[in-house]
Amino acid sequence: MTDGDGTSVGAEVPGTQMQQRFAGQVNAPEFPAGLEWVNTDRPLRLADLRGKLVILDFWTFC
């Protein structure tokens, strides 16, 4: 079985090929205005994070 570009679905794709295949296809929404930020001196924008490794740590207080 193949997808629209002839690549086998479920086949392993080397890292560089995978990055090229999905590059720019999905845009994340901008952070909503008025969010409360922790451990930063100002609100962040997606443009501030472009090209950087971002680790998200979700913490829920019960």
What letter represents residue 59's amino acid?
Answer: W
Q: What is the pLDDT of residue 22?
A: 63
Question: Could you report the per-residue pLDDT of 2-17, keeping only the tens digit for each?
Answer: 555 555 555 565 666 7
Owner of token pair 């090229």: 20
C-alpha separations of 39 from 12, 14, 35 in Å = 39, 36, 13
Question: Could you report the per-residue pLDDT of 24-61, keeping only the tens digit for each?
Answer: 666 788 989 988 888 889 999 998 888 899 887 777 76
